[in-house]
Structure 1
Amino acid sequence: MTPARRRCALVAVSLVTFMAYLDNNIVNVALPSIQEDLRFTVSGLEWVVSAYILVFGTFLLFGGRLGDIRGWRPLFLSGLGLFTLSSLVAGMATSPAMLVAGRACQGLGAAAVTPTTLAIISAVYPDERRRANAVGVWNAVGALALAVGPLLGGVISQHLAWGWIFFVNVPVGLATLVLGAWAIRLPKPAGEKQSMDIAGTLSSGGALFALTFSLIEGHEFGWDSPVILGGFVAAGLLAAVFAVAETKVAHPMLTISLLWDRVFGGGVATMFIWAFGLFGIFFFTSLYLQDVLLFSPTEAGLAFVPMAVLMIAGSVLSGPAAARVGAHRSVSGAMALIAAGIAGAALLDANATFAEVMPPLLVIGLGGGFTTSLTATVLAAMPGRQAGVATAVFSTVRQIGGLLGVAVIGAVLTAQQTTESHRGAPFRDAFLSGYHKALIVAAVLVAVGAAIAYFALRAKLPETDPHQSGAEH
């Protein structure tokens, strides 16, 4: 491959990463505008975020396996094409159903294209030093999307129309398709022919959908209604089917035995709780800033930018911090910071100013950044042949944790808001009461995650150098 093609391939995968990361957080600030225009209920609005995450998380491992079998280039191009077309549909949506369908298809496209990015970088940069530089560019682009997403979403929804948060993907996606088709040249997959884990994909996806539906729609149908109770039962049964199926197939989506490793299992639990807390809080804090504090979309977007900047700074420092004090201390301390920031947000009232909102968000951002050493720590404890599977599992767990975070925190908020409304409280006061209760639940759960991280990540540290065990413990 020529140097020009190699550079263009890096640009193509970086642009895809930017779009996928951007789409995870650009929507949040625009939610009130979407709700007003399409007349979404709160539970319906949750599906705008949850449909994307649900499909993304369900098919992420499947996409990785498909790339191994069919090749990364065709998966990159087809996934990007679907993501771009779905963005056009979502931007043109004139009804809640059309928007949710567009978001679900975006999630499917993202699940196809996301696993290809690092695989393509590894293939086109065989030299280790150049590959490390390329991965650094890839990470920086993702961080940039994290920082500008909320602000961009606020500016677009306030000064243009919310549909443009999806339309911006279309020209970028088309240009990236052309660039990727020209630049990415990879050999055809070789080696043992593998089968797809269809049973695992369908059972895990069915379980997640049944659980998400029951949590989001429980208030609407009634928690003791046959539909909701049936959904919870179906989720449990399908989860059991998934666990059994993964022990029977030759090439499972998830190697169940990995979860019994203390470091890996504890790391997965910590990642799940991290995503549960952060995704859920981002979603409902956007509503709080605009519906309760009456911030404009641009002001709400600006409120998240300093938090994102601190998250980036924390991620840069997380590796050295873990090396200096031990990952069990740095990650658990970071989780404790997130819990403290969420608890601090629960003290904000209906008259909070922009300056008063900043401290808890900054604490959450700093803690969120310092947890990034979690992935490297867990992968370092795994045998090399399992590193790829472990990475895919971590990405999937992050999406599932975020999905359930939005659903569960939303269920807590809605239940409390309804109780207060029945007592005669106005909308802002009722929403604020539900928001506070949801924050407390999330803070407690993230604090539990801090304890899990401390004990799980500590387990294998003494094995590296016995002479330093006194310093580490």
Structure 2
Amino acid sequence: MTQRIRALRLTEDNRRWWTLGAMCFALFMLMLDNTVVNVALPSIQQDLDADLAALEWTINAYTLSLAVLLVVGGRLGDIFGRRRIFLIGVTVFALSSAAIGLSPTDTALIVGRAIQGIGAAMMMPATLSIVTNAFPPHERGRALGTWAGVSALALAIGPVVGGFLTEHVSWRAIFFLNLPVAAAAIAVSITAVRESRDETVGRTIDYAGIATLTVGLTALVLGLIEANRWGWGSPRILALFALAVAALAAFALVERRVKAPMVDFAVFRSRQFAGAASVGFIVSFGMMAMFFFTALYMQNILGYSALEAGVRFLPTTLVLIVMGPLAGRLTDTIGPKPLLVSGMLITGASQIWQSFLTSDTGYGFLLPSFVLMGVGMGLVMSPMTTAAMNAVDRTKAGVASGVLSMGRMVGSSLGVAIFGAVVATVGSAKLDEALPSLPAPARERLAESLGGGGVAGGPQQIVEASRDAFISAFGTGMKISGAIAIAGAFVALALISGGRPTAPEPVPELAPEPEPEPAAA
């Protein structure tokens, strides 16, 4: 017993594992928050008398601010210290969670969710860059595998925890739950985590780069979120995409001219980093679309409740919990390339499997594809992250992790948007074939409903035609998504280097800042 207690004490030998534990605490809180909110939306609607648009922005406000500010959060960590920015982010996240739990109106809740996303954008890149700096390259696979496993665990239990708290306590409890987790993360971080930053740059903030990147990403992500509702060819969507192109082009020009750019584009000269970032984008593109539209299939076609559908996704996340750490250890042994290639192939196979669903298909047919998806994502996530972070100098870990996370967030938004467009387009054609006598405006309204899985009530012929159209479009979308995942395997094959990670490198401690001289009397 005494030996176990000594083993748990913070020492120089185990400091990096304490650091990993603190980052996993924080990541668990972030990922849990991503899933518990969805289950609570009906209760939020009833309690705050919120309309559908307010419920959508309860999710979108967080997603938008997080995706837009990830790179900024990562770079601020490089400049001012990753532990410092992490602690600020955890504090902002916790305080905004408390404010959301006390929200009197849906407007206050949406504002709180946007602020919560800002805190998350400061935390998420910091967790990855802090772990990268704490572990030498030959141990990062194991550490990042644990990091990925904790993320999967939070995703797995999120719907269950959210459903239990919403049903037996209150939807507000899911936000108050963040407070003790944040307190534990702060306490361990202050004690165990060493400060690190990019010692090659000063403390100059690239305000022009932040402004142009924020405008460009806001326009891009907002356009992707609203494209299917407003119409891809609508003036508002076209204006947003035009603004995104102009602002991101301006960002690229600004970064070439400033002395201390926010994003060092030299990281993309590394084939390994570019390949890992591309794989992260592709796997997120297919994964989020699969989860989103398969959930609609289970609820609207198979008749499951939201909680029942969430529980049936557990095979994917439970397998991912096991495969993440295992893949991380294998990365340290054989390198990331074979794992990424096989993982993307298995992910693609899972999606193509789901493309053969019919209105009579039961959960038994879905189950093997869920297991395959868990295996595939488990083989991709931690090796992809390890490959990316080992490809850049440790001084650039913050901005590299921000770029990697931002690419995954944009990939997720693009995947849902493109899949939704496929469902609307293919489904509309199927409705035209099945219901030629129905007036065109009515068929257009039916086509718009396909994004929600089709109509649930009305004349039997219309209900069946709507469901058949959704299933046909779903199958087409899954085939496309699976083909893109398989293409990702070839990207990994071409760009990711083989072999084990490089030998460990010493990580110098951050020199303490000089104390200010006392003012003259």
TM over 0.5: yes
* Paired residues of 2:125 and 2:405 also in contact (CA < 8 A): no
Contact 1:30–1:297, Cα closer than 8 Å, also in 2 = no
CA–CA distance in 1 between the matches of 2:197 and 2:233? 51
Matches of 1:199 and 1:317 in 2, distance apart?
A: 43
> Aligned letter for 2:308?
E
Counterpart AA for 1:70: F
**TM score, norm. by length of structure 2:** 0.74
Letter in 1 for 2:493: L
Change beyond 3 A, Cα 1:122–1:450: closer
Correspondence for 1:268: 277
Instruction: Say if 2:166 and 2:173, in contact at 8 Å, map to a contact too.
Output: yes
Name the Cα RMSD after superposition: 4.0
Asked whether the 8 Å contact 1:54–1:399 carries over to 2, the reply is: no
Aligned-partner residue type, residue 183 of structure 1:
T
Aligned to 2:486: 450
Structure 1 equivalent of residue 67 of structure 2: 57
Q: Give the direction of change, closer, same or farther, for the CA distance of 1:459–1:260 in structure 2 (3 Å limit).
A: same
Kindly state the Cα deviation for residue 348 of structure 1 after the two structures are TM-superposed: 3.1
Which residue of 71, 93, 97 maps to 1:87? 97
Distance, in Å, in 2 between the alignment partners of 1:121 and 1:455 is: 26
- Offset at 1:370? 1.1
Task: Determine the structure 1 residue equivalent to 2:191.
Answer: 183
Specify whether residues 122 and 214 from structure 1 end up closer, same or farther in structure 2 by C-alpha distance, changes over 3 A only: closer
| 3-state SS of 2:251 partner | helix
Is the 2:288–2:416 contact (alpha carbons within 8 Å) kept by the matching residues of 1? yes
Cross-structure match for 1:365: 374
Q: 1:211 Cα deviation (Å)?
A: 2.3
Distance 1:216 1:134, change over 3 A: closer
* Partner residue, 2:265: 256
Distance 1:441 1:291, change over 3 A: closer
What residue number does 1:467 align with? none
- CA 415–36 in structure 1, closer or farther in 2 if over 3 Å, else same: farther
The verdict on how the C-alpha distance between 1:22 and 1:400 changes in structure 2, with shifts beyond 3 A counting, is same
Distance 2:198 2:25 in 1: 28
8 A contact 1:88–1:167 mirrored in 2:
yes
Indicate the residue corresponding to 2:31 in structure 1.
21
Output the CA distance in 2 between the equivalents of 1:98 and 1:433: 39
| Number of corresponding residues | 460
Pairwise CA distance, 1:34: 5.3
Task: For residue 313 of structure 1, report the CA deviation from its aligned partner.
Answer: 2.7
The structural deviation recorded for 1:108 is 0.7
Counterpart contact for 1:46–1:406, Cα < 8 Å: no
CA distance change for structure 1 residues 203 and 408 in 2, over 3 Å: closer, same or farther? farther
1:43-91 alpha-carbon deviations (Å, 9 max, x no partner): 7655443432332222222222222333344423321121112223434
TM-superposed deviation, 1:307 = 0.7
Say whether 1:422 aligns with 2:462. no
Query: Equivalences for 1:24-39 in 2 at 5 Å?
Result: 24-30=34-40
Alignment check: 8 A CA contact 1:46 1:407 kept = no
Counting aligned pairs with the same residue, the percent is 34
Q: CA deviation at 1:447?
A: 2.3
> Using the alignment, how far apart are the partners of 1:32 and 1:414 within structure 2?
25
- CA contact 2:287–2:412 (8 Å) conserved in 1: yes
Aligned to 2:316: 307
Whichever residue aligns with residue 448 of structure 1, its letter is I
Are residues 1:243 and 2:290 paired?
no
Mean Cα displacement is larger for which, 104-113 or 331-340?
331-340
State the 1:144 CA deviation. Answer: 2.6
CA distance in 1, matches of 2:158, 2:426: 30
Of stretches 198-207 and 127-136 in structure 1, the one that deviates more from structure 2 is: 127-136
CA drift of 1:239 comes to 1.7
User: Which of 380, 405, 414 is matched with 1:404 structurally?
Assistant: 414
- Summarize the alignment of residues 152-231 of structure 1 with structure 2, pairs less than 5 Å apart: 152-174=161-183, 176-177=185-186, 179-180=187-188, 183=191, 191=199, 192-231=201-240
Contact 2:347 2:376 in 1 (8 A): yes
Aligned mates of 1:325, 1:190 — CA distance in 2 = 30
Taking a change above 3 Å as real, the CA distance of residues 439 and 101 of structure 1, as seen in their structure-2 partners, is: farther
Match in the other structure for 1:376: 386
User: 3-state SS of the aligned residue for 2:313?
Assistant: helix
Name stretches of at least 5 consecutive residues in structure 2 with no aligned partner: 1-8, 432-440, 447-453, 457-462, 501-521
Q: Which residue of 1 aligns with 2:343?
A: 334
Deviates more, 1:127-136 or 1:417-426: 127-136
Aligned residue number for residue 441 of structure 1: 477
CA shift at 1:461, angstroms?
Answer: 4.3
Q: TM-score, normalised by structure 1?
A: 0.80
Greater mean alpha carbon deviation, residues 395-404 or residues 436-445? 436-445
Corresponding position of 2:10: 3
1:211 counterpart SS class: helix
Conservation of the 8 A alpha-carbon contact between 1:26 and 1:165: yes
State the Cα distance separating 1:274 from its structure 2 match: 0.8
Which residue number in structure 2 is paired with residue 108 of structure 1?
118
Once the two structures are superposed, what CA deviation does each residue of 1:214-236 show, in whole Å capped at 9, x if it has no partner? 33333444444322221121111
- The 3 A distance-change label for structure 1 pair 407 and 431 is farther
> Match of 1:283, as an amino acid?
F
What is the distance in 2 between the residues matched to 1:289 and 1:379? 37
- Choose 9-18 or 276-285, whichever is displaced more: 9-18
User: Larger C-alpha radius of gyration, 1 or 2?
Assistant: 2
